[in-house]
Structure 1
Amino acid sequence: MVFLCEAFYIVSFGSGFFLGCDPLKIAGSDANANLGEFSLNTSCNAGCDCSTSVFTPICGPDQTTTYFSPCHAGCSSFNLSNSTFSDCLCFNGTATKGYCQSDVTGCTNLIPFISILTMGGIIASIARTPGALISLRNVEPYDKAYAIGFAAIVLDVFGYIPTSVIFGFIIDSACLIWESKCGDTGNCWVYDHDKFRNYLHGTAVFCLVMASAFDFVAIFLADRVKNFYDDSDDESNIKNRMLDKSKTDLEENNMIAEMKEIGQTELLA
């Protein structure tokens, strides 16, 4: 059951490879395609001295191409009444403020992705209790407290602490356009959607597969994983415990009777 739950979660998380959205079609050029570098500077805005300190996207007249800012589109006029830009060097016609409508409403995979991932998480949570029991069944009874503490330390040191750093590096590696202000690099404005999706889900699926592999080794190589819930839950051991309890109760009753007899004897004397 543990493997089935984990396998379903791996498959559900792996669905993110295929449930992506079309990338943002932003005007620019690949400065170095081999290194994945993207440049917003083109021949039409070469003399505009544009900055990436502020992201103010506009949609071109073709309603599919997004420009990083009016400056990068070479626009010099703005109509406040209808929020359009004109007199642009990079295209003929007018541009509207904001993202193109196709980028806003074109992605329909968000709800299926969230639904599949949520269902996978719910099913995977079923394996948490058996997973904890497997960890406890791999050690001697007097080492269970140490096992819980050691597992918490390992989880903190190798899980919670480095996760933000590792996934932060992975996410940053998919960035196309960085904020640049006063020579310093700030936040990422635009990501490569395909690279972001593949890197993020690929790393997560790899970690989940490795965790399942360790569970597999723990289950099939642990000598103590025989009776999953209790070491002495078979019928003979239950009978032995009941006999031991009966003997203990009988001895206590005999001792109480002897003490009463001794007390009565002392009173008569």
Structure 2
Amino acid sequence: GPRKGPSDINALCNADCACLDDYDPVCGSDDVLYYSPCHAGCTQHNGMGAEGKRVYSNCLCIITSPNTTNDDVIIYGNATQGQCEDNSCIFKPMFFVIVAFVLALSFSITVPTITAVLQVVAPSQRSTAMGLQSLLYRGLGTVPGPIVFGALIDKSCILWETECDGSRTCWIYRNIDFAFYTFGIVVICRILSLLFFSGSYLTYKPVEEVEVAKEVKDKP
């Protein structure tokens, strides 16, 4: 289907190429991702490379080494089909370890939360409390969660593909926005969770104390 791309992908180096909106990403020799070989200004197709990817050369938008002795001679770079591989993140293993640790903590509070409800609620009200807790989990988390996350993730998309039936698929996300939105909503939820747990702890009165206070009040 037709693809709606960003509006700033045209430049002077590809102004005469009459590039279409078809998304066919190439990675330039300058490690920059280009929308298509045409938008990279490539004028030559050199066949398939070692990994079976198309290779383009004489790309006018990729300047690798201008000739310092003659300003009129410029050496243009090449491009390879596909997206650029980013191996610059040296903290990726640490990131996965931290994420695994946070997920383990998140799931580890499920049983203590259920136990706390069973301990602080009167026996005659435990079934109602468990049902209400499950309803709140579903109503505030399971149901709206995917909708909220999906909307925020879609908001970070910068390149959509629109099918003939009107459905859309995202091709490229703005990574910084993607990370900010997903991390932000998680932090907000954690802060709210901490506030609710703290409020429950500060306002909780043991059942024994309530019963004793009631007995004292009922005495003549």
TM-score (ref. length: structure 1):
0.61
2:79 to 95, 100, 107: 95
Q: Please say if 1:188 is aligned against 2:158.
A: no
Q: Please say if 1:133 is aligned against 2:115.
A: yes
Instruction: Determine the structure 2 residue equivalent to 1:44.
Output: 13
The superposition leaves residues 78-125 of structure 1 with CA deviations (integer Å, 9 ceiling, x where unpaired) of 111433202434232322222334x2x222222211111212332444
Deviation at 1:186, TM superposition (A): 2.1
Query: Counterpart amino acid of 2:59?
Result: C
Deviation at 1:167, TM superposition (A): 0.5
* Preserved contact between residue 28 and residue 80 of structure 2 (Cα < 8 Å): yes
Q: Relative to structure 2, which stretch is displaced further, 162-171 or 184-193?
A: 184-193
Q: Please say if 1:166 is aligned against 2:136.
A: no
Q: 5+ residue gaps in structure 1?
A: 1-36, 228-269
Query: What is the DSSP-based 3-state SS (H/G/I as helix, E as strand, rest coil) of the residue aligned with 1:80?
Result: strand
Instruction: Determine the structure 1 residue equivalent to 2:47.
Output: 80
* Preserved contact between residue 86 and residue 95 of structure 1 (Cα < 8 Å): yes
> Which of the pair has the greater relative contact order for Cα pairs under 8 Å at 6+ separation?
1
Q: Relative to structure 2, which stretch is displaced further, 123-132 or 176-185?
A: 176-185
In structure 2, what is the Cα distance between the partners aligned to 1:68 and 1:77? 17
Instruction: Determine the structure 1 residue equivalent to 2:72.
Output: none
* Preserved contact between residue 48 and residue 72 of structure 1 (Cα < 8 Å): no
State the structure with more CA Rg.
1
Instruction: Determine the structure 2 residue equivalent to 1:66.
Output: 33
Query: Between Structure 1 and Structure 2, how many residues are aligned?
Result: 188
* Preserved contact between residue 156 and residue 174 of structure 2 (Cα < 8 Å): yes
Query: What is the DSSP-based 3-state SS (H/G/I as helix, E as strand, rest coil) of the residue aligned with 1:40?
Result: coil
Taking only the aligned residue pairs, the percentage that are identical comes to: 30
In structure 2, what is the Cα distance between the partners aligned to 1:170 and 1:217? 29
In structure 2, what is the Cα distance between the partners aligned to 1:164 and 1:79? 45
* Preserved contact between residue 219 and residue 225 of structure 1 (Cα < 8 Å): no
In structure 1, what is the Cα distance between the partners aligned to 2:90 and 2:208? 48
Deviation at 1:181, TM superposition (A): 5.0
Distance 1:51 1:185, change over 3 A: farther
Deviation at 1:137, TM superposition (A): 3.4
Deviation at 1:135, TM superposition (A): 2.2
- Give runs of aligned pairs for residues 196-207 of structure 1, distance below 5 A: 196-207=178-189
The superposition leaves residues 28-54 of structure 1 with CA deviations (integer Å, 9 ceiling, x where unpaired) of xxxxxxxxx7632333334524224x4
* Preserved contact between residue 174 and residue 191 of structure 1 (Cα < 8 Å): yes
In structure 2, what is the Cα distance between the partners aligned to 1:116 and 1:70? 39
- Give runs of aligned pairs for residues 108-147 of structure 1, distance below 5 A: 108-147=90-129
Structure 1 or 2: larger strand share? 2
Query: What is the DSSP-based 3-state SS (H/G/I as helix, E as strand, rest coil) of the residue aligned with 2:193?
Result: helix
* Preserved contact between residue 61 and residue 94 of structure 1 (Cα < 8 Å): yes
Q: Relative to structure 2, which stretch is displaced further, 113-122 or 179-188?
A: 179-188
* Preserved contact between residue 42 and residue 78 of structure 2 (Cα < 8 Å): no
Structure 1 or 2: larger helix share? 1
In structure 2, what is the Cα distance between the partners aligned to 1:127 and 1:190? 36
Give the aligned CA root-mean-square deviation in angstroms: 2.8
In structure 2, what is the Cα distance between the partners aligned to 1:38 and 1:138? 59
Distance 1:94 1:126, change over 3 A: closer
TM-score (ref. length: structure 2):
0.73
In structure 1, what is the Cα distance between the partners aligned to 2:173 and 2:98? 24
